[in-house]
Amino acid sequence: MSEDIKKGLLGIVVDETEVSKVMPEINSLTYRGYAAQDLCAACRFEEVAYLILNKDLPNSIQLKKFEKEEKDHRELSKNLYEIIKHMPKKSHPMDVARTAVSVMGLEDKETSNSSPEANMRKALRIFAKTPTALAAFYRIRKGKKIIKPKKDLTFAENFFYMCFGKVPQREIVKAFDVSLILYAEHSFNVSTFTARTITSSLSDIHGAITGAIASLKGPLHGGANEEVMHMMRKIKKPENALKWINNALKNKEVVMGFGHRVYKSGDSRVPTMREYFGKVAKIKKDRTFEKIYDIVEKVMIKKKNIYPNVDYPTGPTYHLMGFDTDFFTPIFVISRITGWSAHIMEQHAANKLIRPLASYKGNKHRKVMQLNQR
């Protein structure tokens, strides 16, 4: 009798969470009950980060304290700066992010303390330092001097400043902030489940986030935003888009940035991100990728009934902002650290070792022959 195997744990409910849910009744991703697009309209990313970590939106006093703590922890140790300076220039920034968080674990005095209070403090330190580490590598690999973080800038403004040496106009910063909010959390996705699995063995938060980063790197998860940009570069011009997408479908190629395990009739994050993609394209006076976007999307919906996910508009938006393509997923990381941290703390609070079973399909029992008889 064959066992009922659910490949990829498809449809299997493995635990409970209070962090986020795609609510069918409002057809929206929600963080702690708030619709993500409503948070984009009313809040800055720091407010949403506080919400995800602390279970409710902050008042002005709580937000001010949270922002001060984040700003106070942005600086890296001399040791970590030196390690980043000596990393191979061709390293993928996701590998840099993974290594940087791992080094932070070596340096943190509370690494082995997994109490709720210590985990919250460590989560905030990882959240504050990771953008600094990534921006330092962004500069180093271009042969430029590292720009240290500034305490008088918001989280989004500071990342632009550390990468480019200047803060862009308000609308660009807002679009970036919106992308961080939309990427911050998404229930039991691959990287979050990886973080929770590592945590279930009572490992530490740095280890769990390091594992989550490794998981997010894959093109079927966070790396999809990079693949979208590679696809758009192949298409090059809007007039090539129709032929390209028809050929791709004819040859049964995977079209990145479309489809989602959770959403069946469209990712609820897309309309908001698409709006800000359009705003950035208008500011930059470059509608090329926007036109390609619309043509490919139309064909995918018409011919395959498959809708875009949030990676589809985010990739070209980051490109127009001036970021290198291989930095798109690391930007995802600096946002998703909030969601991972919340899930890690939730796992610790009601932990049970995650240890699924497998259906064995290998050889039947065999007797070991001596070496001279094989």
**Splitting the chain (374 residues) into consecutive groups of 10 residues, what average pLDDT does each group show?**
76 93 91 97 98 98 98 98 97 97 98 97 98 98 98 98 98 98 95 97 98 92 90 95 96 89 82 97 97 97 93 96 97 98 97 92 95 94
The candidate with the shortest Cα–Cα distance to 31, out of 17, 18, 22, 20, is 20
Distance (Å, whole) CA 310 – CA 44 = 19
pTM here? 0.94
Provide the edge-to-edge strand list for the sheet that holds 28-31. Answer: 20-23, 28-31, 34-35
Instruction: Name the catalytic one among 311, 319, 343, 348.
Output: 311
Mapped onto helix, strand or coil, the DSSP state of residue 353 is coil
Told to judge if 311 belongs to the known catalytic residues of this protein, a careful annotator would answer yes
Tokens matching residue 1 = 């009798």
Separation of alpha carbons 220 and 196, rounded Å:
19
Q: What is the pLDDT of residue 218?
A: 87
Question: How far is CA 82 from each of CA 108, 133, 187, rounded to the nearest angstrom?
Answer: 17, 11, 36
End-to-end distance of the chain based on CA atoms, in angstroms? 34
User: 32 and 18 in contact (C-beta within 8 Å)?
Assistant: yes
Q: Which residue has the tokens 């930007």?
A: 331
Catalogue the E-assigned strands of the chain: 20-23, 28-31, 34-35
CB 99 within 8 A of CB 206: no
The packing angle between helices 116-140 and 328-349, to 10°, is 170
Two structure tokens written together for 33: 């009950």
CA distances for 197 relative to 55, 190, 324, 350, angstroms: 22, 10, 32, 13
Per-residue pLDDT at 331: 97
Report the candidate in 339, 335, 338, 324 with the shortest Cα–Cα distance to residue 131: 335
Residue with tokens 């969470």: 17
8 Å CB contact between 208 and 224:
no
Domains and CATH numbers, the chain: 16-218+326-349 (1.10.580.10), 224-321 (1.10.230.10)
At 258, phi and psi to the nearest 5? Answer: -125, 145
What are 65's two structure tokens? 């304290």
Per-residue confidence (pLDDT) for residue 254, from 0 to 100: 87
d(CA 134, CA 50): 22
Active-site hit among 108, 204, 206, 260: 260
Active site residue 260: yes
CA 220 to chain centre: 12
